[in-house]
Structure 1
Amino acid sequence: QLSVITKQKDKLEGFNLVIEGGNLISSGVIAAERGTVIEVRNIFFNTPARKKFLKTDAVELRHIIDVVTQYALANPSISFSLQHEKHSLLNAPQVQDQRSNIASIYGTQLAKELLEITYKDDHLTLTGFIGKPSQARNDKHQQILFVNNRAVKNVDISNAVHNAYHSMLFHGKYPIFFLSLTLDPFMVDVNVHPQKHEIKIDQIDMVKDVVMDAVNTVLKENNLIPTLNLEFEQPSSFVQKETKYSFEKSKQQVLDVEERNHTESIPTESSESMPPVEVYHDDQGQEVEPTPQIPVKNSLPDMKLFGQMHKTFFIAETEGGAFFIDQHAAHERVMYEQFMVQLLKKQVATQRLLQGGMMDVSPSEKILIDTNKAELEQFGYLLEEFGQTSYVIKTVPSIFGRLQPLDSVKEMISSLEKGNSIMELKETIITRMACRSAVMAGDELTNTWMQSILNELNRCDHPYTCPHGRPTIIKITADELEKKFKRRG
């Protein structure tokens, strides 16, 4: 049961059309306001059996909201509103730009943090917005894709976007995106799904590569440091809570960290595992601390290092506020990217063990080692046979010198036993190795070492998260601090 009332801008009268069950009931001239009203009633009046297949009212209402939302996002120049039982569910006014359109539907807080993406070549045009890693969700409800202005779902494109974030998201987290892809219509097959929701794309590998590269470029070019909003902090209780941190006055001061030898601060089996440290001297030849200032470079904003807090975080001053850096997450990202570069170039730096590590293996493990010996060597592990059921570990990757060689090799063998090759699991293996060999919470670091970690983090492609997706840096703005100290409203 359908009725349509429409009136053009330059006409004095409108037109009314009523259809029921596919039959024309009435039509003719009618007094009406400018615009079009389409009203549908009793959609199952002549097909009651189909009503039995509906979900609950709440589920069906969400589907309706999704459809209207997609139309509103695709047409920012048109105003959309959705009401249910006299309650407004969606109000998207006419706007001039896509960011304002997203803000009217999903809120200003989300929209202002989104990163704009624009790419064009001879084959396709990609425009829209992607979320920062800190905005990732537990579901895919805010992954909106339009192909030739049609809202669709395409697993290949969604995976390409997700892969661009690969080491910046927690497991089980999904990025937000609102993307519009324009292709030659002959490249798109829309007759895959009865409702045209799913499509197939010709030359999909080329399209996936372009989408992933475009998203990756935007992520590299933007500041992804999350800003902490102190307004959402719970008011402090008068009862002092126990904390796992302790403040040691004898070892730590507000703006200075007592210098100690690296071997005293960080327990390690090899100096090779430490980041490179530059030594500075004054005019008399005495060793001095370098000025704790990150050089103007690529990835990170300028900052001035103050010191270490609770043997877990670095504190640094920056434009408009202060940075808090998680020392473990930052060092983990550095080691992950450095080793990944070495592995891709097949130039993994190794260190020879003076005594070697003896490892007993079972007959099946021996076959796995012999079969995958070349891949193990690419990772920096050189194993030599010592009898029929033993191997000696001769070399290990220099960058992961803090790891126990025996545990690392056994972990790789365990992965091989599950039927995977080492190279197939390189992301997982390197992430785990970087995590275990990085400095830990509780390790006391010198200013020189902290500065070295920050310098190396500044050279990373993705310095804002560890390989697991945890943030390496958060910012507290001076404005937020002034509010907390009641210096401003």
Structure 2
Amino acid sequence: MVDPSIDRLSFATQTKLRSTQILTSLPQIVSELFQNSLDAGAKHIEIGINCAEWSCWVTDDGSGMSRDELDQFGSEGRYRTSKAYSPDTLDCLTTFGFRGEALASAADLCCLEIASRTSRSRETWSIILKDGKILYSGSAVRWRRESHGTTTCVRDAFYNLPVRRRSHPSPLRTFEIIRREIESWALMHPEVSFALDDTQAKLIGSSKSNILRIPKTSSCISVFRHLYGRALCHHVEEVSLISGEMRLEGFISLDGALSKAYQFLYVNRHPIPSGDLHRIIDNKFTASSFAKNAFDEIGATQRSSTRRSPRKTEKKPVYVLNLVVSPHQIDNLLEPAKGALHFQNKTAVAEFLSSSIVSFLVRHGFTAPRNNTSRTHEISSSTGSPRKRKRLDFEQDSGYAEVIPEEYEEEDMTVPPAPLNLYAEKHGTNELVWTDPNTGESFIVDARTGNSRPQTQPRLAAEETAENRHFHVLRQRRTLSLPNTSSEDKSRLNPAPEWIQEALEANDTYAITEKRIAEITIGSAADTLQHNCLSDQQTHFQQRQHFSKLFLSSKGDSNVHAQHRFNRDDIRGARVISQVDRKFVACVFNKDLVNGDLRKNKSSPENLTLILIDQATDERIRVERFLKELCLGFLRNCLGQEEGGVEMRHLTPPMPVLLTRHEASRLAHSKQIESSFHSWGIRFADLAQMELGIDSSSSGFDRDNDRYVQVFTVCVPEVVADKLTMGNELRDLVKGYLAQLELDLPDMSRIQGKHSETSVDESDWLKALRWCPRELLDLVNSKACRGAIMFNDTLTNEQCIRLVHQLSETVFPFQCAHGRPSLVPLANLGKLSGNGGSPLQRSVGWSALDQQSSLE
């Protein structure tokens, strides 16, 4: 076979390969278009979207393009741009659009129309491109403009890439992604007004075509209040910190949110996706008390030492921060979205960002001030308010600065160096000597592990062998005895002092109230170890041999496997013996059973294993039953089935829930969010009227009385209705699920496509768990726990049998609802024939357990 020669790709192939990498989705196309508008100096940007028709348009009042500049797109339009690029500036990005390639890429993947007018021209010129070819060039017809600016229209996006269309999110989800993208850019450009229209709704004459309108404001806080209301930024602290060539600006709110949807981080005004810098901020807030003590609807949370409910939702920080770094010290040209970042000095950036967050937490009492011996202090001589700031720098020239409150004086921030430990220096170890100030006794402490020993105790020699150390440990365990050793034998081996025995006999407080756990005998008395005649070391090794027989199969029997993986069939065929200590259910599993039938001849000896099952596994049974009922109802609601949906309880009168204005607006305007609540059996009253009220007072976001809106709930799922009507459980569920939907709105069309239109399989409930609200899942777990069988509940033999049978029908029978193991094998009983043989092949005395059960 002749090797193919290397040839040059055609120009059409080159442009198609490049374009498919630059524009990957409809939101990416819209983002690149309005970023070009920002580069053109626009102060007003309007965006129209029709996701169902794969089209969009962006209109701005920027500088515009002349007719000659438009004609350049027809002939080798790629790499033709108004942005100034030179070889010296290719490694740094000072503009927003992606190096002048967005329009050329759009011409390869869409039908692109550009209409533009400059301030010097009276005519609007237009050009239409598709597949790199000019379809029209001349005076604009459709997008004629009255003033300077540009209108860019994209139609039939990805017409030549049907695979990309099929993998694209649904139209509703795509629209939400675009809305979120516009909001993030508007926060960093308060001097620019944005408008987002749904062109599809406008075509059908709907009054809801105007989805988003953001006016020009004076600061990013004003934009945030317009978008999300005043509730989440009623108490804020503006940030303006400088360290060398780095600067951090924006604000951090003292009002916590239930999700991370209100966290915006920028680098040089570019929004960046969640990554390392976000994690630095999250780690500092997580290590503080902000999650518990942040402001909420009722104001400042009371700081209390009482234990909070484990299901209590913790607050997430709300912030808009812009990190300004010199363009020559950062590389964000790794991909078109400009989300991947490389810093020249990543450590300095991380330290600056970390210290800024810590300073905020210290100032507001969410964390204690930290000490650092490597800092020098510049204390201001002026005396002002306690919020006065001062700058602290590392002695190392790292460009790191931190802002802390002035009330922490210099002497409080310094720690004297630790004295030299002569013991560690002499012995060459990391051990330190500590003297108890009360007794004067000295101890040697391992600085790494914290283990200690008296200094008078000799240290084990380095040349001590492992065997000597082993017997040294055995000498410390002289009280160790076999399981069948009686309490009298233990007392004889290690008698208690006389005064202790008299005290125990005279005081009933120390009497043992619980009954001794019953013991069963495996083998005959002749097999009992005679440890009294053996030395301590021999007794220890004999014990280990004895216990190993209980857990390992007999090596002489080739039909017995050393290991066996239990499954639900083993639980179905289990023989229940009895309840043990009112905590466990003793069972015998036959490892030769498959679906209730023996693998071999039924007359052959049984291969048995003794198992203890935690009787608290009833919680696992209950939680799966509740979740199955809830999730199957959710799937049937998604499919529009009239029967079998989530069973609901109607609340009379309706129960009010206090939401922020932004949360209420999202609930009222988004039919998909409302449908998501309906699918889980949560329904609200008069959302249409509430929507009209929000729209009529949308200009009142900055008024204090417009921060919150009351929503009335008329239906809740029956399975947790009792819990939802108590305390703030319903409010936490509604707010938490709204926060979850802000980040991950489920695609109902895909859910419907994965299931039959006529029925839902019983096993499909597990697939629906991924969409279940976290708060609803916690309530189900709580209900299952409160009514389940617990320790010290006495069970009859019939109840034990029913419990084991129900456990065998669960999906996860081998772990409890909290994830812990629900059963444990105690002993491999081998082939019990009852006719001689080894001790493990003789009858087991189960009567001891049965007698204890009857006594209880």
So what's the TM-score if we normalise by structure 2? 0.27
Structure with larger RCO (C-alpha < 8 A, sep 6+): 1
Larger fraction in helix: 2
